[in-house]
Amino acid sequence: MAQLWGGRFTKETDRLVYQFNASITFDRKFYEQDIEGSKAHAKMLGRQGIITEEEAARMVEALEGIRLDVASGALLVTEEYEDIHSFVEATLIKRIGDTGKKLHTGRSRNDQVALDMRLYTRRQVQETDALLKKLLETVLQIMEEHTQTVMPGFTHLQKAQPITLAHHMGAYFEMFKRDRQRMADIYERMNYCPLGSGALAGTTFPLDREYTAELLGFYGPTQNSMDGVSDRDYLIEFLSALATVMMHLSRFSEEIIIWNSNEYQFVEIDDAYSTGSSIMPQKKNPDIAELVRGKTGRVYGALLSLLTTMKGIPLAYNKDMQEDKELAFDAMDTAKGCLALFEGMLSTMKFNKAVMEKSASHGFTNATDAADYLVGRGVPFRDAHGIIGQIVLYCIEKGIAIDDMPLSELKRFSEAFEEDIYEAVSMEACVNKRLTAGAPGKAAMERAIAAARDYLKSTPQISTNA
């Protein structure tokens, strides 16, 4: 048990209490951020004359040495320390002696952990943004290749109207684009530095908070020291955005699972992204999509957990806040893992164009267009709707499609039908006549694709000036 305090205590901490209280098993994940923050703090202490420039330089060099040694595995972050902050400080003192004891001047673990968590989360926001961008590129590529791949569009999971695969993918493009926008928003709001907030009330030392903020790539210091140590809004916002990413991935997964089923066969998942059954030799299962769908619950759980933890905490720091880490880390790793795997699955997936097109043309997806045709011949829409409804019923009884009916039969339902009905209800016409902005028609879709391409070109990944 190695801890940073003890002066006012007359008894050793109970071992179970120590373990219950300790966070080293999970906060070692941000050792790099802890060291970066300490380096900035040491530089600032030197620059302000709170310690000498030489002392600051020794600290910075030794801290960098610790970082490299942990990274290479030469130095192990062991559980004998309470948390990563204690580990780094104790190791520094071991390496450079008394000078190391000056590092914590004007600093508290409260502003230290607030900084570490913010730096770590900021990095995660960037990495998530990069993964979303890659996924968007893959989705866009599928859109570009399939502007003429007709498939049924569904409502209530029932065939509704014909669309194209490009159009369907375009819906996901918009979702993941909004997810990226959320990342950028969160980054903008969170990129302020809590270091220098002290335990809660700042410090009597003349710290230069602007300087440490700048060294660490923040826009500036946070405005209120109480809020500085107790704000976890940025983390809640990020978990909420990740929950939304997962919701999108889960919906997409659900569709892929349906499309991959024996009944649909719209897609074939690549062997590298499928799994077999231990007993049924014929099986090729969409486990990756199912796992993505399943893991969504974990990410929702992390969001709910942190919201609940934070809701009862009086200002400023309380130990409850240590609970901001484990589930949040799990959610971040889970979401990133799912994004990467999903992109891999999507980019290797085969789309069965012929099956999709056949499915669209059997299922009365052109019924609305047939009604619209009658409207074009002067039949009021409500009457046209009724006429086509009767035709559909007739076709279902006969097991045929609308365009299988000869003109003479169609005329029995309405005199308004002419020879050009067949062209009007062909799948190509049904899709390509839908030209409202955002619709699947070729010209509209090409405009949407151009806009998507521009968006990806003009929106670089989030970067930090540190």
Residue 120 in contact with ligand ARG, rule: CB under 6 A:
no
CB 319, min distance to ligand ARG, A: 6
H-assigned helices in 24-103 = 24-27, 31-47, 53-72, 84-96
**Among 23, 146, 156, 463, the one annotated catalytic:** 156
User: Which lies closer to ligand ARG via its Cβ, residue 108 or residue 361?
Assistant: 108
Residue 163 φ then ψ, to 5°: -130, -170
| Binding letters toward ligand ARG, positions 287-326, x by CB under 6 A | ------------------------------x-x-xx----
CB 66, min distance to ligand ARG, A: 18
Residue 121 in contact with ligand ARG, rule: CB under 6 A:
no
Residue 115 in contact with ligand ARG, rule: CB under 6 A:
no
User: Which lies closer to ligand ARG via its Cβ, residue 83 or residue 369?
Assistant: 83
Q: Which residues of 351-375 are buried (b: 16+ CB within 10 A; e: fewer)?
A: bbbebbbebbbebbbbbbbbbbbbe
Residue 109 in contact with ligand ARG, rule: CB under 6 A:
yes
Cβ–Cβ < 8 Å for 139, 169: yes
**Among 41, 225, 253, 277, the one annotated catalytic:** 277
Alpha-carbon distance 87 to 444, whole Å?
59
Rg (alpha carbons) of the chain, rounded to whole number: 30
Residue 327 in contact with ligand ARG, rule: CB under 6 A:
no
Cβ–Cβ < 8 Å for 126, 332: no
Cβ–Cβ < 8 Å for 427, 366: yes
User: Which lies closer to ligand ARG via its Cβ, residue 30 or residue 373?
Assistant: 30
Alpha-carbon distance 40 to 106, whole Å?
13
CB 113, min distance to ligand ARG, A: 4
Per CB under 6 A, contacts with ligand ARG among 126-155 are none
User: Which lies closer to ligand ARG via its Cβ, residue 24 or residue 384?
Assistant: 24
| Binding letters toward ligand ARG, positions 4-43, x by CB under 6 A | -------------------x---x----------------
Whether residue 156 lies in the annotated active site: yes
Residue 110 in contact with ligand ARG, rule: CB under 6 A:
yes
Q: Tokens 């600093």 correspond to what residue?
A: 107
Alpha-carbon distance 407 to 55, whole Å?
94
User: Which lies closer to ligand ARG via its Cβ, residue 11 or residue 319?
Assistant: 319
Per CB under 6 A, contacts with ligand ARG among 77-106 are 83
Alpha-carbon distance 116 to 80, whole Å?
21
Cβ–Cβ < 8 Å for 145, 349: no
Residue 161 in contact with ligand ARG, rule: CB under 6 A:
no
Secondary structure class of 268 (helix, strand, coil): strand
CB 355, min distance to ligand ARG, A: 53
Q: How far is CA 452 from the centre of its chain?
A: 19
Which positions lie near ligand ARG, rule CB under 6 A?
A: 23, 27, 83, 109-110, 113, 317, 319, 321-322
Active site (catalytic) residues: 156, 277
